[in-house]
Amino acid sequence: MRLEEAQREVREVYLGGWVGAFASAAVWFASAALATWSTRTNGALAIIFGGMLIFPLTMLALRVMGRRATLRRENKLGLLAMQVAFTVPLSIPLILAATQGKPEWFYAGFLIVVGAHYLPFVTLYGQPAFYPVAGVMVGTGFALPSLRPGEFAFGGWVGGALFVLLGFVLAVLHARESRRGVTPAHSP
């Protein structure tokens, strides 16, 4: 399978990434809500453990929509997707260590890590649009602690909003590609 065909299949199966962006937004908003109206610990646990549910939620949403939710076995980009997915949980100890003295760095740290984890999506999806996505998330992560010093939950709300915006942008890009008549690499 050629790279372009593999990337086209990733875009087609995962609808350009917009379903996953909205699943991420739901997790971030749930975490922010808990951090705002419950405790910081509950908010932190929600994003740590909820983050593990983003891909299964995405697959569930695709199946509910009547779509295929997996790549063909011969598409080796599935391996890249799995490797990229593990970068976030492997970074959690670093984020937790960074927030020991500065709790407002918690969501900022997650935005930096998640933003960096979006860079390989350029290759995975064959979409350069993920470069600015990564840049905005990383930049927002760096800016957050100085925007609202000492405030914990604010970063969760900002992250959730960024994912909603990302979802809409990716949905528009996918719709444009679909309207241009680009045929999927493999139909379900």
Backbone angles phi, psi at 76, to 5 degrees: -70, -10
pTM of the model: 0.93
Q: Are 90 and 78 in contact (CB under 8 A)?
A: no
Between 149 and 170, where is the model more confident?
A: 170
* Containing structural domain, residue 117: 3-179
Q: Is residue 186 part of a domain?
A: no
Q: Is residue 153 part of a domain?
A: yes
Q: Is 60 exceeded by the pLDDT of residue 12?
A: yes
**Distance from C-alpha of 171 to C-alpha of 166, rounded to nearest angstrom:** 8
C-alpha pair distances (Å), 173 with each of 84, 127, 164, 170: 22, 9, 14, 5
Between 184 and 26, where is the model more confident?
A: 26
Q: Are 43 and 153 in contact (CB under 8 A)?
A: yes
Tens of pLDDT, residues 74-122? 999 999 998 998 999 999 999 999 999 899 899 999 999 999 999 999 9
Q: How many residues does the chain have?
A: 188
Q: Is residue 86 part of a domain?
A: yes
Number of compact structural domains in the chain: 1
pLDDT at 84: 92
**Distance from C-alpha of 101 to C-alpha of 110, rounded to nearest angstrom:** 16
* Residues whose CB falls within 8 Å of the CB of residue 58, separated by 6 or more in sequence, listed in order: 14, 19, 20, 23, 69
pLDDT at 150: 87
